[in-house]
Amino acid sequence: MQMVEGQLRRRGIHDERVLEAMATIPREKFVPDLIRASSYADEPLSIGHGQTISQPYITALMAELLELTGGEKVLEVGTGCGYHAVVLAMLAREVITVEIVGELAATARRNLAAAGICNVTVITGDGSVGYPPEAPYDAISVAAAAPAAPPSLVRQLADGGRLVIPVGSLDAQELRVISRSGGQLTTRAASACRFVPLRGGEGWALN
């Protein structure tokens, strides 16, 4: 509750469903054992493989920007340990989440099963190209930074849907909300941010 009040509500998160989801989900179950004591810290945490679990405020902000009401099919790109996927799963009908690091995908599947979450499917693969078999998606949440919004993700966004993605350089990005309405796309910038890079075919070409 201290995290919800001090880090989220105080900084302007006001979607009560998001606040309730984050008050309910045991974040410590998605954080590696060694750093469990820091589960509710106001910062990103290392989950190995050079990757992180996002700062709670960023997870809350991204979830709020998607404006989920409960019936949506959501695509997440960058599962990590699965925490953000569970937040989305509590706010929507179904979550498909794609992770490029096989070991992280396996950890996320274990964490989700242990938490008894049934409406999240973890796919191992390159999510920069989305996941065509389940498209279109009412909402898409990208947890890694891209040089530009991947065309495949924009294509897989349903009419009336929203894509939230950090776009910019490797060092600094802005969190963008891209909305599709009647064939029209609109983009707005919501916040400055810093994420790990999105790899893969429509991300950064990194080793």
CA pseudo-torsion sign 64, 86, 57, 6: positive
Least Å distance, CB 182 to ligand SAH, is 29
Report the nearest approach of ligand SAH to the CB of residue 36 (Å): 15
CB of 103 to ligand SAH, least distance (A): 10
Active-site residues: which are they? Answer: 54
* Structural tokens at position 117: 């979450």
Under the criterion CB under 6 A, does residue 111 sit at the interface with ligand SAH? Answer: no
Long-range contacts of 149-156 (CB under 8 A, 24+ apart): 149/176, 149/178, 149/187, 150/198, 150/202, 150/203, 151/202, 152/128, 152/202, 153/75, 153/77, 153/128, 153/129, 153/202, 154/178, 154/180, 154/185, 155/130, 156/75, 156/130, 156/131, 156/132
> Does 139 contact ligand SAH by CB under 6 A?
no
Give residue 7's identity as a one-letter amino acid code: Q
Q: At what angle do helices 16-24 and 83-91 cross, to 10 degrees?
A: 130
Contacts to ligand SAH from residues 63-92, by CB under 6 A: 77-80, 83-84
Q: Exactly one of 7, 39, 54, 156 binds ligand SAH (CB under 6 A); which one?
A: 54
Nearest in space to 181 (alpha carbons), one of 97, 67, 17, 78: 67
Residue closest to ligand SAH when measured from CB atoms: 78
| Candidate residues 21, 53, 75, 120; the one interacting with ligand SAH per rule CB under 6 A | 53
Contacts (CB under 6 A) with ligand SAH, residues 168-197: 196
Residues in contact with ligand SAH, counted by CB under 6 A, come to a total of: 26
- Position among 126, 130, 166, 173 found at the interface with ligand SAH (CB under 6 A): 126
Would you tell me which residues interact with ligand SAH (CB under 6 A)?
A: 51-54, 59, 77-80, 83-84, 98-101, 104, 126-128, 143-144, 196, 198-200, 203
